[in-house]
Structures are given as C-alpha cells and as structure tokens.
Structure 1
Amino acid sequence: MPAHVAKTWFITGASRGLGAQWAEAALSRADRVAATARSVKALDSLVERYGDLVLPLELDVTDEAAVHRAVAAAEERLGGIDILVNNAGQAVVGAVEEVTAAQAREQMEVNYFGALYVTQAVVPRMRERRGGQIIQISSMGGVVALPTMGTYHATKWALEALSQALAAEVAEYGVRVTLVEPLTFPSELGTMASAMPEYDHARALVMAGFEGLGIAPGDPAAAGRAMLALADDPHPPLRVFFGANGLALVRPEYARRLAVWEEWDHLARLAQGASPA
C-alpha cells in the first residue's frame, strides 16, 4: 500500500460533535487542518494535542466577508486546501407551526448560506489547481422530510440541490463533491421549539418510525474512520449515508413518490394542454 500523502482540510464547526471527530481523525494521521468555530477557545484542545498541524480560526459562517478572510488565511498558512468539510450547522426541532420565523431563518443562514459562502470561497483555488474535494454535510433529512423537522430538513434539501448542481459544474476541473447524509449521531446542534400539544401525535410518529426501522445513534469514532475512507477514495460518490438502515427509510419513500406521480400523470398531461405550434 502506498504511503499516505498528507492533505490539508478546512473544517467548519470543528469544535464539537462530528466536526471535532473528523478534525481529530485527519490530524491523527498527520494531515493539516484549518479548524473553525464560533469561539477559537473551543479549539484549544486540538491545538494542544496537534500543535502546528492545526490552524484554529474563529469564524461565523454567516459572515460572508469573514469566510473569505478565513479561507485566504488557510490558503496562505497551509499552502492550499485539498478537502473542504462544510459541517457547521444547527437544527430546531419542531412542527412547522411551532418554529418561529426567526428560528427558521437562522437555520437557513447557517446550514445553507454558510455552506454556500465557504464553498464559493474555496472553489476558485481548487478550480485553478484542477483538484480538490468538497464534502457537504447534509442529513438523512436531505432526502426525506419527517414531521417536526420540516424547517431543518428544508435547509438540507436546499444544500442537496446546490451541491448536485455544483458537482456537475466543477467536475471538469477535477473537483469532486460529496453529500454526506448522516442518520443519527450524538450531537449538540439541536434545540427544541416551543411545543404545542396539538403536535404530540407527530412527535410520537417520528419516534415510532425510528424504532421500527432500527435506527439508533451511530459511533462518532466510526464516522471519523468513514470520513477518512471517503477522503481517500479517488472516485467518491455524490451521495452517501453515514449510519446503517438509511436505505430502509428511503426505499419506500421514493417508491411512494413514483407511485403518486404515476397515479396523477393524467393531471400532469391535462396541465400540459395543447403544445404551441
């Protein structure tokens, strides 16, 4: 097996959860990591353990100008970014009626616009170097929409569309794009909207569905190993689940979609009308 060639990562939201695990995994094999967090102090433990392999950067991904400064600093200090992991995110759990407009907007600013800003900052140099990998952290909720998580899932659906289009745009330049779709892992990113008893049935439905499919929290350390395997693959997929039993959820979901489209195809044809001459 050929010796590992050190890579340079730019990881947003690297101070906790899966972001911290992915930073740790990369650093443990002597890769370099530009690690970002809202508070640079939260990255002290990484710096203490890995020294100059870590470039700690304080960053709010919703600040577009700050994003460009952080990416420029990483490029200058570490000599180019090989892998971007857009991981910074937040989630508000609640039925559509329960989530405030401000909460919904903040989620979109972080999960979609934040990822957009970082992607736009990194792509030009990857394109010029004709190589690089962009890993967008989506969610199982990027391909399905479950009750009580609609506003969160909306941000991930937006990220999925953006990234699929991006992948086709930058493939010409040797830049690869992958949407990682985690199922459930221990996380601190979720907050609860003010619950209304009218939607208790929806919460119960979601929990029953997870239990019925055998979807349980995954091991963050295993997710770290999976991330390294993805980063090292010369032909990574556009989409990949992180966690078991995702297929058990999406197979019936997509079967239902096709069945409904087919059942109502007569209405689609009615809407078409007579084609213009």
Structure 2
Amino acid sequence: MTTTARGDRVWFITGASRGLGRAFAEAALGAGDRVAIAARDADALREVAAPHAGRVLDLPLDVTDRDAVNAAMDRAVDHFGRLDVVVNNAGTLSMGAVEEFTEDEARHQMEVNFFGALWVSQAAVRRLRMRGEGHIVQVSSIGALAGYASCGMYSASKFALEGMSEALAMEAASFGVRVSIVQPGGYWTELYDRMRTAPPLEAYAPMRAELERQWSGPEAESVDSEPHLAAEAVLRLVDSDDPPSRLLLGSMVYDLAFDVSRKRMDTWARWEQVSRAAEHAVPAPGGAAHS
C-alpha cells in the first residue's frame, strides 16, 4: 500500500457544480490535486473546470443512473490513471410532513440521497479496494442527527446513507479503504432554493406556520457559513493519517449532536428496567436456530 500526498491525489466529487461540492473541488485543486467533477448541470461543470485546464475532468452525471455512475468512474480512472478520494456529495432536499409525501416525492428523495450515494459507493469501493487504498467521504447532514418536523423524508434518506456507510466502512477497512461520514451544519448553498415541497395538507397548516415563525423569528438568528470552511475541514480530514469515521462541521451541529445524544441516553436510562426485562436468554426450542 502506498501513500498519496497532497498535490498528487485524484478526487471524484459528485454534486460538484455548485454549493459544497464546488467548494470541495476548488479546495482540492487549490491543494494541487486533480479532480473529476460530476453533476447533472453540464454548463455549470464547464464553468468550474474552465480555469483548471488539464487538472479537471467534467462529467455530466445523474447519480440515480447506476450504469452512468460506473461509466463516469471508468472515464475518470482512464483519464487520470486512478482515484484516491471519492466524495459522495450529490443530494436534494424535499420538505413536508410525512403524511403529505406522495409516493413519487418520497421515492425521489431516496433515489438521489440514498440510492445515488449507494451506486457511487459501490463503484468507488470496487476500484479503491483493487488498489488497496483510498478514502470515501460521505456527505450526510445535520438532518441525520434526528428527525425534525417537515424534514422527515430528508432525514430518512440521510439516516439510510449513514447506516449503509457504517457497514461499508467495516467491510472496506480490510482492503485499506477508509470511509468517513461528514455531517455539515448550515452553509450558504442553493439547497433551499432548489428544494422540492410535498403537496400540502390543510391539517398541517398550523405546524407550517409555527415552523415559519421559529425559522424567521428573532430567536432564530442563525447565520450560515461560507462553503469554503467546510471544504477546508474536508481537506484536513483526507490529509489525516487517522481520519475519523464521523466529522461534525460547525459549532451548531457539534452542540446539537451532544444535546441529542444526551437526551437519548437519559431516556434509555429512565427505561433501563423495562429494556432489560424484555430479554431473558433461553435455549432455542427444540434445538432450532435463533429466529
């Protein structure tokens, strides 16, 4: 196994035409690395690639198309000779109460945020394990810390991504491939400008009004950060000889992670007696295997 230093790495980044994905690409290029950038918007990709002739390969790609993902990764390997870092960043946001989601809206959220990430992960790990090294960075969200009203399907897609990624990390480790989950807080991207909304039901109008009040009221004066700060953190992550399996990005998400974890631990502790009483090991009936 060899170690690829900064300035000689090859990245593959999805959702790289704008927002965090573009910031990741620009940070990698600023470090002297080469980058394959993938996204659905071909014109925006060309704009990102233009100032970096020879060091950027732009690849129009819809990550929900598994065959297209494999073809794009093959093109990147053919062009650059290898891959070192794969950043699974493409994603969308759909908002609405869980009951409000149509089947098509629910499936769209999962197709992009989970299945798209799954296809990229499968394609990446296959190539990286054959090299015996590499790093897959899964861009999750603050929405994976807990479910929140109106963000249920988005959280579901990110919870699914994280569950898959934790298993992938264990499976890939023996091949020298690292997997890290990154959970960003708020950044100035176009995520909310491009989000989808489930068809509203009148029953949830009071909930929407209350959420709007919370998000726009004086007590909600949160200011999002510039994407380049997240990109600098990801550079430090992939530079590390011992990268974490999870990395929180931002003070707000850091504090929230601890708050959510403490509340869950408090609840588990209060219900410990009930939890422990629900288990009492006995031999399998008739010698049958566990069900």
Say yes or no: TM over 0.5. yes
Is 1:54 paired with 2:24?
no
RMSD of Structure 2 on Structure 1 (CA): 2.2
2:207: which partner in 1? 199
TM-score by length of 2: 0.87
Asked if structure 1 preserves the Cα contact closer than 8 Å seen for 2:12 and 2:36, the reply is yes
- Aligned partners of 2:81 and 2:229: how far apart in 1? 29
Partner of 2:167: 165
Name the stretch that deviates more: 9-18 or 142-151: 142-151
Residues 24-77 of structure 1: CA distance to partner in whole angstroms, max 9, x if unpaired? 111123311111111322211122100111111111100011111111111111
Task: Give how far 1:12 is off.
Answer: 0.4
Q: Contact (CA 8 Å) 2:10, 2:83: kept in 1 or not?
A: yes
1:185 to 161, 184, 187: 187
Contact 2:13 2:89 in 1 (8 A): yes
Match of 1:114 among 113, 116, 135: 116
**Aligned residue number for residue 71 of structure 1:** 73
- Residue 20 of structure 1: aligned partner: 22
Q: Which runs of 5+ in 2 are unaligned?
A: 285-291
Q: State the alpha-carbon separation in 1 of the partners of residues 217 and 83 from structure 2.
A: 40
Matched to 1:193, the amino acid is A
Give the match for residue 255 of structure 2: 248
Partners of 2:6 and 2:239 within 8 A in 1: no
Name the structure 1 match of 2:239: 232
Pick the aligned partner of 1:264 from 241, 260, 271.
271
Query: Deviation at 1:265?
Result: 3.0
Does the Cα contact within 8 Å between 1:33 and 1:54 map onto a contact in 2? yes
Which amino acid in 1 is paired with 2:205? P
Distance 1:122 1:86, change over 3 A: same
CA contact (8 A) 1:62 1:109 kept: yes
Once residues 261 and 82 of structure 1 are traced to their aligned partners in structure 2, the CA distance between those partners, rounded to angstroms, is 41
What SS is found at the alignment partner of 1:9? Answer: strand
CA positional deviation for 1:234: 1.4
Give the CA deviation at 1:215: 4.7
Find the aligned partners of 2:278 and 2:226 in 1 and give their Cα distance. Answer: 49
For residues 209 and 256 of structure 2, the distance between their equivalents in structure 1, rounded to whole angstroms, comes to 20
Amino acid at match of 2:41: S
Asked if 1 retains the 8 angstrom alpha-carbon contact of 2:145 and 2:260, the reply is: no
CA offset digits 1:168-219 (Å, max 9, x no partner): 111112111111100111222323334441322551586389956x753111
Are the aligned partners of 2:94 and 2:109 in contact in 1 as well (CA < 8 Å)?
Answer: yes
Inter-partner Cα distance in structure 2 for 1:263 and 1:226: 37
More divergent stretch after superposition (124-133 vs 77-86): 124-133
Q: For the Cα contact (< 8 Å) 1:132–1:174, is it kept in 2? A: yes
> Which amino acid letter does the alignment assign opposite residue 241 of structure 1?
L
Match of 2:94 among 88, 92, 113: 92
What is the TM-score with the length of structure 1 in the denominator? 0.91
User: How far apart in 1 are the matches of 2:113 and 2:135?
Assistant: 19
Q: CA deviation at 1:274?
A: 6.2
For residues 31 and 264 of structure 2, what CA distance do their matches in structure 1 show? 43
Question: Which residue identity lines up with residue 268 of structure 1 in the other structure?
Answer: S
CA-CA distance at 1:263 after TM superposition: 2.3
CA–CA distance in 1 between the matches of 2:218 and 2:142?
A: 12
CA-to-aligned-CA distance 1:126-149 (integer Å, 9 cap, x gap): 112111000000011112222111
2:44 corresponds, among 31, 42, 45, to 42
Kindly tell me the number of residue pairs found equivalent between the two proteins.
274
Q: Which amino acid aligns with 1:198?
A: P
Identity across matched positions, percent: 43
